[in-house]
Amino acid sequence: MFVSDLRKEFYDVIKGKRVLVLVHFDVDGICASKILQSLFRTDHILYTVVPVQKRKDLVNVYENHAEQIKHIILINCGGCIDVVDLLQPADDIIFFIADNHRPLDICNIYSGEQVRILSKLGDDEQVPAFSDVFREDESDEEEEESDEEGGKRPRFDESVLEKRMERRRWEQQRHKIVFDYTQFSYYGNSTAVLMFDLAWKLSKDSNELLWWAITGATDMLMCEKTEQDKYLLMTASLQNHVSRLNHKTQDDQPLDCLRITFEKELQLALYRHCSLVESMRHSLYPATSLRLWTLKGEKRLCELLAEMGLPLSQCKQKYSGMDMTLRNELQSLLEAKVEKYGLGNLLFASFTLTHGFRSKYSAMDYVYAASALLESTDKEKTSADAFLDVADSLSMNKLSVLEKGIEAAKQQLEAVYRQVQTFLDMNQIISAGPFLYATVIEGTPDARFFSAPQCLSLLARFTLRAHVSISRSKKSRSLPLVITTPDVRSSETNTCLVCGIPPVSEESPRNFFGKAFEQAAEKTASKSELEFFDTNVMRLSVDDRSKFFDALISLLS
């Protein structure tokens, strides 16, 4: 069931209770949990936060805590699976689900009091009617079937036969309706923004909580989990809160206060923390638009900088060391040249954060840093350690952790760029018919970065756009991409990660690979693990990879 009033039907219900919060391994989910934890501390609500990455983690954590806790909050996990069927909870346990994954499971939507969904449905989300997927006479049919199995003589009169035929027709129709509803995976609105909305209604909002909501919304955009139109609507709402909480002038505020500003931002990765040339090379949009992995692309970049009046020596040193005048004019100079160089979408609406005399950070900086920390390549760190590092990086008093995340993000972006260049130079992006296919070769030093879902998805997006930018075939724009990489982080040997993304021509980020992977794995009896909440990523045995892809080609042809 859906919760219409977050304050009355959710927050007031858990007040005074002990709560278990299960958080998915993504930046939006962690930002949402930070906002929720802030509210809990204010109202002295006892809580336990546990990160979960897969379905089996959800089951294990539930089994460990079910006896002590009766109220469980699932953030960005659990919405797309029947949690009651998966966890088999006692009747007095209540699940509150705030999940941006779509489509939501029908059983969760039509559950009674036990499953309560906090996130709202979008206007374009069509949920099947209750009567189309559930029948009131199901129990009667089951009893009749059990009677026949028990040896009782069945009554073959016309009414029974008619009922059975009618039921078969209904089941066929139900199967079609459910398949149409679940065939594409996509995302709803940011959960962090939803939690900030709750904080605002409780009159407990602040600039810090607002920044976490902004970071969550920016993560949705950067990971291409939301359309541009939806992002603009979110930013319009967040901009109102920015104006409300930052209405005082700088002269009226303490020097060390937190200040958020809404402004145009460049789609350049971490450009305030490295050189302009490095940032443009490692940013998906300018790198693929200018084809910076080629000599011609390098020359074109030098032409752009020359026309802007930026000396190459200035552009190759760290941004903070650039001439102050050039730094202040950088955005306007780039804006004047974007049309000529095909960089029309280089600027977008975003937010920046300043804290006293310290450096200015953009929401993109926070997302890059948090994502890199979350999928750290440090073998000594557990997933729980990485989760805590991300939570610390979002805290305003632990900027040293954020800086570590920024340095880790630079390494991650460099690894992605190198791998994309290798794919293109070695012609390793192959057309398999209904989709494009690329493989990170076993033994590649950078494979340690890609054996994590979010970095692998970034590599896939960068690879597909780079291929489309140089391909002479118009068909390449309408082809999706499947990419595989050795799973060097897994305890199991001889496994790989598989990730599928929709084609460049698709404006909506709806992804059919989750269902396709499931059917191909089932058809070939491949040794696979479809446990991730982002269903377009799966783990597969290398031995089964060949037959799995044959089945996938057959399925999508």
| Structural domains present in the chain | 426-556 (3.10.310)
Confidence at residue 134, expressed as pLDDT on a 0 to 100 scale? 84
CB-CB contact of 280 with 458 (8 Å):
no
* Residue 388, φ and ψ in degrees, nearest 5: -65, -35
Confidence at residue 253, expressed as pLDDT on a 0 to 100 scale? 56
Pairing mode, strands 481-486 and 495-501: antiparallel
- 327/305 Cα distance (integer angstroms): 13
* Residue 189, φ and ψ in degrees, nearest 5: -80, 165
Helix or strand (DSSP H, E) at 348: strand 347-355
pLDDT tens string, the chain, 557 residues long: the values are 888 889 999 999 999 899 999 999 999 999 999 999 999 999 999 999 999 999 999 999 999 988 889 999 999 999 999 999 999 998 889 999 999 999 999 999 988 789 999 988 877 778 888 888 887 765 454 445 555 555 555 555 678 888 888 888 888 888 899 888 888 999 999 999 999 999 999 999 999 999 999 999 999 999 999 988 889 999 999 999 999 988 765 555 555 678 899 989 999 999 999 999 999 999 999 999 999 999 999 999 999 999 998 899 999 999 988 888 988 899 999 988 888 888 888 899 999 998 776 678 999 999 999 999 999 988 888 899 999 999 999 988 888 999 999 999 999 999 999 999 999 999 999 998 899 999 999 888 899 999 999 999 999 999 999 999 999 888 889 999 999 999 988 877 889 999 999 999 887 778 999 999 999 999 999 999 998 999 999 999 999 999 999 999 999 98
Confidence at residue 380, expressed as pLDDT on a 0 to 100 scale? 86
Confidence at residue 171, expressed as pLDDT on a 0 to 100 scale? 87
* Matching residue, tokens 């989760």: 387
Confidence at residue 472, expressed as pLDDT on a 0 to 100 scale? 86
Contacts of 60 (CB under 8 A, 6+ apart): none
- 408/449 Cα distance (integer angstroms): 10
- 416/426 Cα distance (integer angstroms): 15
Find the Cα–Cα–Cα–Cα dihedral 303, 309, 315, 320, rounded to 10°. -160
Cβ neighbours around 465 below 10 Å, total: 17
Contacts of 134 (CB under 8 A, 6+ apart): 110
Confidence at residue 158, expressed as pLDDT on a 0 to 100 scale? 77
* Matching residue, tokens 């002038």: 249
* Matching residue, tokens 């008093």: 397
- 463/478 Cα distance (integer angstroms): 15
Tokens of 76: 């960005």
CB-CB contact of 504 with 531 (8 Å):
no
Radius of gyration of the chain (CA): 25
**Which is nearest to 412 in space by CA: 356, 385, 380, 450?**
450
**Cross-strand partners of 20:** 48, 72
Confidence at residue 50, expressed as pLDDT on a 0 to 100 scale? 95
Rounded to 5°, the CA angle 74-366-481 comes to 75
CB-CB contact of 448 with 488 (8 Å):
yes
CB-CB contact of 61 with 33 (8 Å):
no
* Matching residue, tokens 């009046």: 309
Please state whether the peptide bond connecting residue 445 to the residue before it is cis, i.e. omega within 30 degrees of 0. Answer: no
- 323/107 Cα distance (integer angstroms): 60
Tokens of 515: 């269902």
Confidence at residue 255, expressed as pLDDT on a 0 to 100 scale? 52
**Which is nearest to 226 in space by CA: 190, 192, 180?**
190
3-state helix, strand, coil in the chain (%, to 5): 50, 15, 35
CB-CB contact of 251 with 265 (8 Å):
no
Confidence at residue 249, expressed as pLDDT on a 0 to 100 scale? 55
CA 512, distance to chain mean position in Å, is 16
CB-CB contact of 260 with 352 (8 Å):
yes
**pTM for the full predicted model:** 0.92
